[in-house]
Structure 1
């Protein structure tokens, strides 16, 4: 059964190993638990959608074409494990640009919702930064902070304050989603 919402995923530090402004597609490496977790979610009928801030474009570190190339490499690596991502949505702006698409602003999620017919309130955002958790709040969805990327103790405290879960990795995050698809359970946070 296809779920009305989607699993909205951060890319760097969540699906792939954080490389701080990844500029080399040959360095793309899936997080250790990514395949297991994403398989569980797709098997349960969840669509996967990637929402990624790529301020390296605005900073001149790389261009949008490189971002798209790296996304294609990640997509192919996931497909090799039978995992399909329904959409890739990128914010190329910097923090000071004032755009509506840079997480925690809801622009990327709204764009995904319109293009893919996603119920954002029935969706989960999984990422390694407070901006990912804040995006979930902005769309009235649920959130999980994963400890695989940039997450710090301060981020974990902020996640708890926002009524979000904290998981060690995507596999554990998938278990949280699957255990909480109807209502919330504070026992898992």
Structure 2
């Protein structure tokens, strides 16, 4: 199964890291977690008005094109609402994997929520595509998350 990374890296636009620094970080990620079949990176800032920066669909569409698949056949896995919005805008399936930084409203609005990356892989490989509401997932109850 082809895998791509789609990532906003506004630190380049803000001057917090150089393109070379970013490339070194990405190489390390590739070394630890890859190999990846494609990388789609937005180095613009929020105010730049580009069409690639998530929540815009540009990165998802670009990655799908490199992988030679339709965005509708893609699964976007992310930890914030912008990731889910980009998936929706591109016509892809979005699965949120919350972290401590994920806001409750992002969890509540996610089309599908998974407990971790292993859960995502199992859901995708087993063809499970029924969304699991955040408040009813066993891990959400264990973490004390609820809508109320």
Whether the TM-score (by the shorter chain) exceeds 0.5 is: yes
**Alignment-derived partner of residue 167 in structure 1:** 114
Q: Which stretch of the first structure deviates more once superposed, 50-59 or 149-158?
A: 149-158
Distance apart, 1:175 and its partner CA: 1.9
**Alignment-derived partner of residue 58 in structure 2:** 107
TM-score by length of 2: 0.82
Q: Does 1:176 align with 2:127?
A: no
The answer to whether the 8 Å contact 1:71/1:88 transfers is: no
Q: Which stretch of the first structure deviates more once superposed, 110-119 or 131-140?
A: 110-119
Question: Secondary structure, in 3 states, of the residue corresponding to 1:172?
Answer: helix
Structure 1: distance between partners of 2:68 and 2:102? 30
Aligned length: 133
Distance apart, 1:149 and its partner CA: 5.7
**Alignment-derived partner of residue 130 in structure 2:** 185
The answer to whether the 8 Å contact 2:2/2:67 transfers is: no
The answer to whether the 8 Å contact 1:148/1:168 transfers is: no
* Structure 1: runs of 5+ lacking an equivalent: 1-45
Q: Does 1:66 align with 2:11?
A: no
**Alignment-derived partner of residue 88 in structure 2:** 137
TM-score by length of 1: 0.65
Question: Secondary structure, in 3 states, of the residue corresponding to 1:88?
Answer: strand
Higher relative contact order, chain-length normalized (CA < 8 Å, sep 6+) = 1
Distance apart, 1:150 and its partner CA: 2.7
Q: Does 1:76 align with 2:31?
A: yes
